[in-house]
Structure 1
Amino acid sequence: MRNRDKVRYQLFLEPKLAERLEEMAAKPGVARSDILVAALDAWLTRQGSHELDDRFGGRLDRMSLQLGRLSRDVQVLLESLSLFVHQHYCLTAQLPEPDAAARAVGRDRFDRFIEQIGRQMAAGPKPLAQTGEARP
């Protein structure tokens, strides 16, 4: 494109920015005008936002995965607590003086409790209010 087909602008740069521009323009075949045109075009078309995606996208993806895992872990904890409270207050009768038979019953109940949590977590997330009645 010929110079007469272009519009001329004058601008003022701070000294530090001017030094950086001069350093970039010191390379052979690079003009200050071309650098400024490219920078202005990138800024006007918002191509600078892609640089942020390139720079921080991977980190944000990892953080998103970590939050997903954390959400899953919290759901497991909430489900466990919900079932425990439900079983403790609604299903479990008071045991007499602890003895070997009572400990065996307690271990069996705990094993069923863990199995039930596993089944409900495998079924997928659901509101805690739907725990309802005890499931076998």
Structure 2
Amino acid sequence: MTAKKVRHQLFLGPEVSARLETLAAKPGMNKSAILSDAVTAWLERRASNELDAHFGKRLDRLSVQLNRMERDQLILLESLALFIRLTLLRDAHLPEADAATRALARARYEGFVAQVGRIIATGQSSLNPTSSREGE
């Protein structure tokens, strides 16, 4: 049992009509199947193009913004890490920046990193001491 088909009357230009006649003359081809496939492909392509046109620019803009934020975040974190290292080295309270001073600064830096890890793990914030992890 074949699916019910709807008859359409359409007009094609002479060049398109000639090309359709040539293609339909090949064995196993007919005009209805060719036009049905062509219209289906056009509709599917148009739908995807409409989605791209509708959301593509917005997604591209968001991608650029996220890349910029990631870059800025890396710069900020590297700057903060360098500042902390230099501050801990300066505040080691030893007269010269010798091996002992560097070791003390390294220990203080590692302690700082461990403390940041603990704060993040508990969901607390140094900027807002009353904040905690969601759901607690």
Q: TM-score, normalised by structure 2?
A: 0.44
Q: TM-score, normalised by structure 1?
A: 0.44
